[in-house]
Each structure stands twice: as structure tokens, then as C-alpha cells.
């Protein structure tokens, strides 16, 4: 017998996927987020990343934590390493109620379901409520991970405008009216009311009751996603939507930004009737949330002054917010605008007409700075004049240098003759020289 063909099956990134015909229809809604696609390039040390939303964990008491983890395993290892209930550990659910009380929520531990991060909470909510073609209304822009979860269940996201006071109630009303007129079923309002990802704004207290009333009037369930609520720079907290309308709000919480994202512990507080379905959905997704992580969070809350720890985080992030805002003011060319966050991780920048932040990104990365283009935070293809800058992770010096580099790239986009490194490149008057210690 002779081998006639020497051709080997193609493999690697560009080969056709042999499983293409097998995928469920819903996978069409699963696309790599632009942010995730960025992670490989922005990991390079010469690139200052203002792209990802990684919390800065340097202030955590690592030695104490490591002793506590060792103690948990030594004293309670057979429980910590075992399966547990899908509902979550009872003590942790009680502690979560104490955390939520800071934002005015009166909850029973029984109604809390622990999840592997609030991202999983989003997936469970989408799984429970979204049929293909259902509409979810959400702020425009919206958290990219939520868009991914709704897309994975083939829901359509309709964006509602925001301004510096958050979601615009009149826009919400108009979107719901329009959906009703065209016969589409709106199931959910997805909102991040505090220190919004990516817009950096907070829903005005005066708007909260109105948003809830509109949703009630149109029979829409509210999903309140609140991972940043305790990270207000002046220590102020806002009344949670859940505290104002417990029966029509599903609340998602997380320890990722106030403690440690690697533990993957979040929670859902649902109206009582929904709780059972959430537990069943958790069971089918993962049997139970991670026991060891839950015990670590629970022990930390029990033994550590976690409120002071959050205050330290807030102060660190405030210093970085100040660094980004002053650098934007100092370096960015005329015609750019940006939000002024009072908490959280993000500032949302709008650039002059004619600049496309998605196209510009490759040049920015070559110039040593990365950001997230606004297009990733919308499902309607718009957002090309916006970008999200995350100031949570780099040091203030790196933030300043990152914004300076960004300004140079923008300068080139606005006038190609002056592109960075181009023949006509010259320093614009609003771009001061780099400081010598800038990384």
C-alpha cells in the first residue's frame, strides 16, 4: 500500500473548525470580548495598560491571609475541601447580608445564593429569564461581560442613553414603549447604578425610584449589578435599587473588588420566589460554589477589619483617579471630553469626530499604551468615538505616562501629518515633555 497524499490536516488558528456544524445555535452569540483579546498584548511590560479592570491587591494582608488559609485546612480541611450546598455556606450568607446592609438592603440569608463571582450570577440570571429573541434593556454603554452573558442566551440588548447622572429615565421609558409597539418582549433591565463600568458615572439618587417605577409599569424585572458600590471615594454609599423595591430587583454582589477576584465569590439576592430556581441553576452549572473560597471569605470577614481595608482600597483608587483626571486635563488635545468618576475603576473618554478608537488601538499599543475601545461595550456597533480607561491597576506615575502616550497617538489620529514617529511629527503645545522617571 502506498501513501499518495503528503498533505497533513491543517491545524492552528486559521484552520476551519471541524466542529462548526455541531455547535448549538446559541454559540453564535458567543464572541470573544475585545477586552479579552487585548490581554495578551497588554501583558507586555513596556505597554501601560489602561485596558483591564484588575483590582490592585497590593494592600491585602497576605501573611495574615496565608496563615488563615493554612488554619482553615488544618482545622477544617475535610469540610473546606468537600462539596457543599449549591445555596452557599450559611454563615457566609449571613455575612453577605451585613455587607448589603451598608447600602440599605434588608435581606434574609435564605434569599442569598452564593455564586462563583457575579459573572456567574449574570449567567444564571440570563439562563433563568432569557429566551432567544427576548429583549434586555441596558445602559449604553454596558459592562462587556453582561453583554456576553445575554448574548450567550440569544437575548437582544437594547441600549438606553446615559448622562452624567446615569441612566436617563425618559430614554428608558421610550425604549420600553418602542419595544411594546414592535411586539418585542422585554424581560430585564440590566443596570450598574454605582460607579458604572465602563462609564464611571452613578445613577442619581433622585432617579432611582423613577427607574424602578417605569420598570414596574412595563412589567420588567430589574437586575442591579453592584460590584463597586462600596468604592465611593468619599466613603459615601447610595441606596441600592434592591432596597427600594425588593420584589422586583435581582441584586448581584461580589467580593472581587473589595477583597480578591481570584477567590471567585459573589452572590445573587433574588426575590424569594426566584431563589429556588437559582439554586437549581447553580447545581446544574457547577454543583456548588467553591467551598474553600467561601470559607476564606467568611473567615476574612469574621476576623479582619474589612471596612478599614475597603477604605484603604478606596484611598488608593482615589489617588489613581486623581492621577488620570489631571493627566487627561494636562495632555489630551482640545475636543476630548471625559467623565469624572466619584468611585470605582473607570473613566469614559469621548474623542473628536473622525477618530475611531477601535482602529487607533493598534497604534496605541505600538506606542506603549492600551485602553478598551468603546465599541466593545455596545451591541449596536457604535462607540467608536469612546474609550474606557481603567485607572485601578497601574501606579499614578504609569497612569500619567500612559495618558501622555495616548495623547500623542490621538494627536496623530487627528492630524496624520503629526502621527507619532511620522515625518511631520512634532510636539503639540498641549503635550509637555515626559517626566524622566515615567515608566
β-pair partners for 160: 139
3-state per-residue secondary structure call for the chain? CCCCCCCCCCCCCCCCCCCHHHCCHHHHHCCCCHHHHHHHHHCCCCCEECCCCCCCCCCCCHHHHHHHHHHHHHHHHHHHCCCCCCCCCHHHHHHHHHHHHCCCCCCCHHHEEEECHHHHHHHHHHHHHCCCCCEEEEEECCCHHHHHHHHHCCCEEEEEEEECCEECHHHHHHHHHHHHHCCCCEEEEEECCCCCCCCCCCCCHHHHHHHHHHHHHCCCEEEEECCCCCCECCCCCCCCHHHHCHHHEEEEEECCCCCCHHHCCEEEECCHHHHHHHHHHHHHHHCCCCHHHHHHHHHHHHHCCHHHHHHHHHHHHHHHHHHHHHHHHHHCCCCCEECCCCECCEEEEECCCCCCHHHHHHHHHHCCEECEEHHHHCCCCCCCCEEEEECCCCCHHHHHHHHHHHHHHHHHHHCHHHCCCCCCCCCCCCCCCCCCCCC
379 binds ligand PMP (CB under 6 A): no
**Min separation Cβ 264 and ligand PMP, Å:** 7
Q: How many chain residues are in contact with ligand PMP, going by CB under 6 A?
A: 14
**Min separation Cβ 34 and ligand PMP, Å:** 14
- The interface with ligand PMP within residues 208-237 (CB under 6 A) comprises 225, 227
β-pair partners for 251: 224, 269
**Min separation Cβ 316 and ligand PMP, Å:** 17
**Min separation Cβ 260 and ligand PMP, Å:** 10
* Cis omega (within 30 of 0) for bond into 198: yes
- CA 147, CA 87: separation in Å to the nearest integer? 25
Q: Cell numbers at residue 257, please?
A: 473588588
357 binds ligand PMP (CB under 6 A): no
Residue 169 or 266: the one with the smaller Cβ distance to ligand PMP is 266
**Min separation Cβ 348 and ligand PMP, Å:** 13
Interface pick for ligand PMP out of 119, 202, 243, 291 (rule CB under 6 A):
119
Stretch that binds ligand PMP, among 25-33, 102-110, 254-262, 408-416 (CB under 6 A): 254-262
53 binds ligand PMP (CB under 6 A): yes
Cβ atoms 138, 189 nearer than 8 A: yes
Stretch that binds ligand PMP, among 115-123, 126-134, 174-182, 201-209 (CB under 6 A): 115-123
Cβ atoms 220, 136 nearer than 8 A: no
Nearest to ligand PMP by Cβ — which residue? 117
Using CB under 6 A as the criterion, what x/- string covers residues 181-200 for binding ligand PMP? -----------x----x---
Interface pick for ligand PMP out of 68, 191, 254, 298 (rule CB under 6 A):
254
**Min separation Cβ 151 and ligand PMP, Å:** 15
Using CB under 6 A as the criterion, what x/- string covers residues 309-348 for binding ligand PMP? ----------------------------------------
Stretch that binds ligand PMP, among 116-124, 241-249, 271-279, 402-410 (CB under 6 A): 116-124
Stretch that binds ligand PMP, among 111-119, 148-156, 215-223, 374-382 (CB under 6 A): 111-119
**Min separation Cβ 53 and ligand PMP, Å:** 5
Residue 331 or 377: the one with the smaller Cβ distance to ligand PMP is 377
Interface pick for ligand PMP out of 129, 143, 331, 371 (rule CB under 6 A):
143
Residue 243 or 254: the one with the smaller Cβ distance to ligand PMP is 254
145 binds ligand PMP (CB under 6 A): yes
266 binds ligand PMP (CB under 6 A): yes
Cβ atoms 51, 42 nearer than 8 A: yes
100 binds ligand PMP (CB under 6 A): no
Residue 260 or 274: the one with the smaller Cβ distance to ligand PMP is 260
141 binds ligand PMP (CB under 6 A): no
Interface pick for ligand PMP out of 49, 154, 256, 293 (rule CB under 6 A):
256
- CA 2, CA 9: separation in Å to the nearest integer? 18
Applying CB under 6 A, the residues found at the interface with ligand PMP are: 53, 117-119, 143, 145, 192, 197, 225, 227, 254, 256, 261, 266
Amino acid at each position: 500500500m502506498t501513501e499518495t497524499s503528503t498533505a497533513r490536516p491543517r491545524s492552528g488558528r486559521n484552520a476551519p473548525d471541524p466542529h462548526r456544524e455541531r455547535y448549538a445555535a446559541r454559540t453564535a452569540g458567543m464572541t470573544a470580548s475585545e477586552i479579552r483579546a487585548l490581554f495578551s498584548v497588554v501583558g507586555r511590560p513596556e505597554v501601560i495598560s489602561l485596558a483591564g479592570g484588575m483590582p490592585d491587591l497590593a494592600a491585602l494582608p497576605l501573611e495574615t491571609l496565608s496563615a488563615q488559609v493554612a488554619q482553615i485546612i488544618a482545622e477544617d480541611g475535610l469540610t473546606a475541601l468537600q462539596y457543599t450546598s449549591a445555596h452557599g455556606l450559611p454563615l457566609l450568607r449571613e455575612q453577605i447580608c451585613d455587607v448589603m446592609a451598608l447600602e440599605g438592603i434588608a435581606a434574609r440569608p435564605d434569599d442569598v445564593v452564593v455564586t462563583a463571582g457575579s459573572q456567574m450570577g449574570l449567567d444564571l440570571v440570563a439562563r433563568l429569564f432569557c429566551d432567544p429573541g427576548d429583549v434586555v434593556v441596558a445602559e449604553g454603554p454596558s459592562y462587556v461581560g453582561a453583554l456576553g452573558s445575554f448574548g450567550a442566551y440569544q437575548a437582544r440588548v437594547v441600549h438606553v442613553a446615559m448622562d452624567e447622572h446615569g441612566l436617563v429615565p425618559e430614554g428608558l421609558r421610550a425604549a420600553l414603549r418602542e419595544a411594546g409597539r414592535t411586539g418585542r418582549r422585554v424581560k430585564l433591565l440590566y443596570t450598574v447604578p454605582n460607579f458604572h463600568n465602563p462609564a464611571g458615572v452613578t445613577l442619581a439618587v433622585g432617579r432611582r425610584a423613577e427607574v424602578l417605577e417605569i420598570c414596574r409599569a412595563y412589567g420588567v424585572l430589574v437586575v442591579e449589578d453592584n460590584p463597586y458600590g462600596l468604592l465611593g471615594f468619599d466613603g459615601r454609599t447610595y441606596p441600592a435599587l434592591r432596597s427600594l423595591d425588593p420584589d422586583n430587583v435581582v441584586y448581584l454582589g461580589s467580593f472581587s473588588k473589595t477583597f480578591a477576584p481570584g477567590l471567585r465569590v459573589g452572590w445573587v439576592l433574588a426575590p424569594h420566589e426566584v431563589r429556588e430556581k437559582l439554586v437549581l441553576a447553580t447545581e446544574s452549572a457547577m454543583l456548588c460554589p467553591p467551598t474553600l473560597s467561601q470559607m476564606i471569605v467568611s473567615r476574612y470577614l469574621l476576623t479582619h477589619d474589612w471596612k478599614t481595608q475597603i477604605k484603604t482600597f478606596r484611598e488608593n483608587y482615589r489617588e489613581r483617579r486623581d492621577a488620570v483626571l489631571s493627566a487627561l486635563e494636562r495632555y489630551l488635545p482640545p475636543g476630548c471630553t471625559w467623565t469624572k468618576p466619584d468611585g470605582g475603576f473607570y473613566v469614559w473618554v469621548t474623542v473628536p469626530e473622525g477618530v475611531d478608537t477601535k482602529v487607533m488601538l493598534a497604534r496605541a499599543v505600538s506606542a506603549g499604551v492600551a485602553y478598551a475601545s468603546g465599541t466593545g461595550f455596545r451591541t449596536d456597533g457604535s462607540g467608536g468615538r469612546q474609550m474606557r480607561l481603567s485607572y485601578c491597576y497601574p501606579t499614578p506615575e504609569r497612569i500619567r505616562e500612559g495618558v501622555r502616550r495616548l495623547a500623542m497617538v490621538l494627536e496623530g489620529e487627528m492630524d496624520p501629518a503629526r502621527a507619532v514617529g511620522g515625518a511631520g511629527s512634532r510636539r503639540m503645545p498641549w503635550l509637555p515633555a515626559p517626566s524622566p522617571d515615567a515608566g
